[in-house]
Structure 1
Amino acid sequence: MDVLDDLLAGTRARGGVFNQTVLDPPWSLLIADEATLALATMIRGDAWLLFEGAEPIRLRERDIAVIRGPVRYVVADDPGTAPRLLIKPNGVCEPLPGATEHDGPSLGPRTHGRRPDGQDLLVSGVYQMKSDVSRRLLAALPPVLVVPADQVAGPVMDLLTAEISRDDPGQQVVLDRWLDLALIITLRAWFARPESKAPGWYQAQGDPVVGQALRLIHEDPARGWTVAELADRCGASRANLARRFSALVGAAPMAYLTGWRITLAADLLRDTDDTVESIARKVGYANAFALSVAFKRIRGISPSAHRKGEALASSA
């Protein structure tokens, strides 16, 4: 288990919303779906991504864009084309002023457009991420990234496109897993690019000492790790491990371990009814008091207050 494994495992789609829109120029969509994370690709044709205050971004056929939200943006055949359709939460498609009766009718499950064989085909899938683990992944991403078609696995998107238009039993689960796979492949390709400015924890995985220490922490975060034991398992001195870890990851080994334990505890507090005592032991603390001290030091609130706040947010 490495860091990316753990972050992606905590970023699984559940009830992802999918759309494919068949379009003929001129066309433009205003995306206001309030998604935490979105993937978009042009199966046919090219497009432009337009964000307020930023230069237009070209999305060529089969490139994959990952957009970190929630943010409003436009996808258009040309930067000068005014939006005709509004995409709202849950994939709801509404006409905007200037739209015609041919813009946006339903062509089948999760599919909109004037005609099935339109010139351009846009496919998108969105996540609503709520976990603290997924927030750590989001923090490592730029507002928008585009991975060229030749660096991602095209067949994955072909299969996803084929599934979007079906409405078989269990279809949502199938689509969620395909969306996860597309995200994993895209992010791996992105982090491997020099211009990605990959986070320290990703770059450190290639280091023989620090990478091994990170894997040990993520494989068993509840273990009573010390810098000395990690160094011994990695074949390095304590000073060497501490220096290299801090330089590459941006935090000392024990500080990184504490942060990861608190992240896991925060998700357990939100997603389970386990007692704080039980959660404390699961993430490596001797008792609820020890977890509460660490949690309040890192998050500024107690575990119980965090749980209550998350419950209120979910109700809202």
Structure 2
Amino acid sequence: MSRARDADGFTEALTDVLSGARARGGLFHRVLLAPPWGVRVQDGTPLSVASMLSGEGWVRHSEDPRPVRMAPGDVVVLRGPAPYVLCDDPATEPGLLIQPGDCCTTPDGVDMCEELALGVRTWGCSPQDPAALLSGNYQLHGDLSARLLDALPPVLVLREHEWDSGLLALVAAEVVKDAPGQQMVLDRLLDLLLVSVLRAWFARPEAHAPAWYRAQSDPVVGVVLRLLHEQPGHAWTVAALAAKAGVSRASLARRFTELVGEPPMTYLAHWRIDLAARLLREQDATLGAVARRVGYADGFALSAAFKRLRGVSPAAYRAGLTTH
């Protein structure tokens, strides 16, 4: 697996976490709107991205009481499965609901999908409506790293001047195309859009980046994180990691837990299971092969750890992937 490295040769933990973003069947829409407008999204998806192509809008997330303004070129990342409202004004009540299965209804349940269809992946009442909203979402939790989802706030906003917003024009152009392989193109664009936004966001000092990201700069813990990410299948112990970092076992345990928020072996266990979940997407990968790659003696040991940390067995997890 290729790794991005900084000038000191350290592996970026963020690269590994973001590499878990791999959309399959992600949904993109362009919505044309005229004030007053409000859309409540309650489809239960794990993560969504939204941006105003023209006009202005607001976001109200059920887990964050503060309305967030969206200007053209801004991008908002919304953590699910909690619902949220996109609207022209924070006081506007939603007139449309986005339900699971990409179904659009009125608040009293009337299906509006056919009535609002304006073309390929485009909804609205009229092609002349002044506001244009672009949205994309991941359909499955397995398409994203659990560590990434845990690190994100309910609403993350990146202003146009804070990132390379030229990518939005490419996404907007591709959304309305109906060409062979278009779903694959859109899936990769969704991944690229998310990674570009999050990379810029994590770099901001006010972003409240997760502890594992901030800890990379520590001269001791950064070394250990690099080792765990580069060699997750190695039979690591705290003593072995401490020796590599040039500190005592007790010092490493204390420092790692203080900076990362969990002990080294707990972090490694979760990281191995994240990697295993990613590898299980490959249908030709056997459980035994996945187990050996992430540091477990056999499939039985991996199954026990996977079920303990994810709540389902590897077989059930893989079956859930193939049913979508």
TM-score by length of 2: 0.82
* Greater CA drift, 213-222 or 255-264: 255-264
Counterparts of 1:83-98 in structure 2, within 5 Å, are: 83-96=94-107
Distance in 2 between residues matched to 1:300 and 1:105, nearest whole Å:
39
- In structure 2, the partner of 1:9 is 19
Q: Secondary structure at the match of 1:198?
A: coil
Equivalent position to 1:250, from 257, 261, 265: 261
Give the distance between the partners of 2:304 and 2:183, measured in 1 at CA: 41
Give the CA deviation at 1:96.
4.9
Residue in structure 2 matching 1:139, options 150, 169, 176: 150
**1:267 Cα deviation after fit:** 5.2
Q: How does 1:1-316 map to 2 (within 5 A)?
A: 1=3, 2-52=12-62, 54-96=65-107, 105-131=116-142, 134-234=145-245, 238=249, 240-266=251-277, 268=279, 272=283, 276-288=287-299, 290-291=301-302, 294=305, 298-299=308-309, 306-307=313-314, 309-310=316-317
Distance 1:217 1:121 in 2: 44
CA contact (8 A) 1:132 1:266 kept: no
Judged with a 3 Å threshold, the aligned counterparts in structure 2 of structure 1 residues 133 and 217 are, in CA distance, closer, same or farther, namely farther
Q: Partner of 1:122: helix, strand, or coil?
A: strand
Cα 1:231–1:41, aligned 2, differ >3 Å: closer, same or farther?
Answer: same
2:6 maps to none
3-state DSSP of counterpart to 2:105: strand
Find the aligned partners of 1:233 and 1:245 in 2 and give their Cα distance.
14
- The alpha-carbon deviation at position 186 of structure 1 amounts to 1.3
Post-superposition offset of 1:295: 5.2
**Alpha-carbon deviation of 1:279?**
3.4
Q: How many residues align?
A: 309
- The secondary structure found in structure 2 opposite 1:81 is coil
Displacement of 1:268: 4.9
Identity over aligned pairs, percent = 49
Report if the CA contact (8 A) 2:59-2:67 is conserved: yes
Q: Quick one: which amino acid aligns to residue 30 of structure 1?
A: R
Within 1, Cα distance between the matches of 2:38 and 2:230? 46
Structure 1 residue 191: deviation in Å? Answer: 1.9
Distance 1:216 1:66, change over 3 A: same
| Secondary structure in 1 matching 2:32 | strand
- Indicate the larger mover: 190-199 or 128-137: 128-137
Whether contact under 8 Å (1:245, 1:252) holds in the other structure is: yes
| CA distances 1:208-227 after superposition (whole Å, capped 9, x unpaired) | 33223212211221122334
The question of whether the paired residues in 2 share the 8 Å contact of 1:223 and 1:284 is answered with yes
Letter in 2 for 1:210: V
The unaligned stretches of length 5 or more in structure 1 are none
Between 1:78-87 and 1:229-238, the stretch displaced more is 229-238
3-state SS of paired residue (2:24): coil
Deviates more, 1:224-233 or 1:24-33: 224-233
CA contact (8 A) 2:97 2:106 kept: yes
Counterpart Cα distance in 2 of 1:264 and 1:60: 37
Tell whether the 8 Å contact from 1:270 to 1:310 is kept in structure 2 after alignment: no
| Structure 2 unmatched runs, 5+ | 4-11
Amino acid at match of 2:157: V
1:56 alignment partner, SS class: strand
| Cα distance per residue 1:232-290 (max 9 Å; x no partner) | 54455555544432221122223321222233345556765755544332211234455
8 Å Cα contact 1:18/1:91 also seen in 2: no
Shift of 1:20: 0.7
Query: Secondary structure, in 3 states, of the residue corresponding to 2:39?
Result: strand
Aligned partners of 2:36 and 2:88 also within 8 Å: yes
